[in-house]
Homo-oligomer: A and B are copies of this chain.
């Protein structure tokens, strides 16, 4: 059942052309979100082999690293080289995380297709994660957008709004503050604003309500769902987001990663399980599940001994 559209096109070349774009975009974040959450530093050659394996699975978007000082995150010291490798592979969008103007300059110089900037809905998390208040972070975003407009107008700027569904440092995060911050960021000129369940506190009712409220406020600038599986609700929350029109989902191969500055939180949604769910639902992802599962070997080779997660460890729908 995997990739039946693609197979059908090969088998019947005279059949009417099918839509090229998958119905849902799976955005792999393991090489950034995953790697920056583990202590080990993956050697560059292993990163490149892992990224190649992810590319071979048909993924169309990937976040390959963070442009941050190497003394802060030694895991990301080789990010420019990783970007240059990834952008040479055809047919996908290569993103990098940039926390500030300096990072954005370096990322654009390396040739990224898209920038993503973290901004926390929780003031406490904002101070812990990027050492800036939310208002200061909006100012940083304005600077990055101005740089982008000046030197790389075709490069979208995305926000991953951390702690949108709750914060282990602060507790509940009011919906109104999420909407307020989304509006501020939209006015600052970003192209997409996604909502992240950094701390694994989201539930399906909240996911539906918050994405609907944000969409009502900023329309088509509403971006991806970045949901965690900390409490086992990862896929249920993805389903809830899908139900209210979200069409881009962040996930991490093997569930690698989480957020190092949100104590007790861990567990990105597992890309393999997410792809399985959508394909089982008849929603084309463009990803070959067998090849995706095979990419776990490249990840394991680069991070021996690291815990990986996922229920779908063998290919096949049944």
Interface residues of A (CB under 8 A from B): 166, 168, 171, 199, 201, 203-206, 229-233, 235-236, 238-240, 243, 270, 273, 276-277, 280-282, 310-312, 317-318
Contacts and interface: CB of A to CB of B under 8 A. Distances in A.
A164 to B, nearest CB: 15
B310 A232 contact: yes
Nearest to A167: B318
Nearest to A243: B243
Contacts of A270: 232
B204 A276 contact: no
17 contacts: A168-B318, A199-B318, A201-B317, A201-B318, A204-B239, A204-B281, A205-B282, A229-B311, A231-B276, A231-B277, A232-B277, A233-B277, A233-B280, A235-B235, A236-B238, A239-B240, A243-B243
A171 B1 CA distance: 13
A239 to B, nearest CB: 5
A8 B310 CA distance: 39
A270 B236 CA distance: 14
Given A205-B281, A205-B282, A318-B166, A276 B232 contact: yes
Given A281-B205, A282-B205, A233 B231 contact: no
A63 to B, nearest CB: 22
Given A168-B318, A205-B281, A243-B243, 5 more contacts: A204-B281, A232-B235, A232-B270, A232-B310, A233-B311
A239 B180 CA distance: 29
Contacts of A273: 231-233
Nearest to A200: B311
A171 B229 contact: no
Contacts of A310: 232
B205 A311 contact: no
Nearest to A204: B239
A168 B317 CA distance: 11
Nearest to A203: B280
Nearest to A269: B232
A164 B160 CA distance: 40
| A-B complex: 8 closest residue pairs judged by Cβ atoms | A232-B311, A203-B280, A235-B236, A232-B273, A205-B281, A236-B236, A236-B239, A203-B281
Nearest to A274: B232
Nearest to A276: B231
Nearest to A314: B264
A205 B166 CA distance: 29
Nearest to A242: B204
A124 B201 CA distance: 42
A203 B239 CA distance: 10
A239 B239 CA distance: 8
B171 A203 contact: no
A234 to B, nearest CB: 8
A240 B199 CA distance: 24
Contacts of A318: 166, 168, 171, 199, 201
A236 B281 CA distance: 11
A54 to B, nearest CB: 20
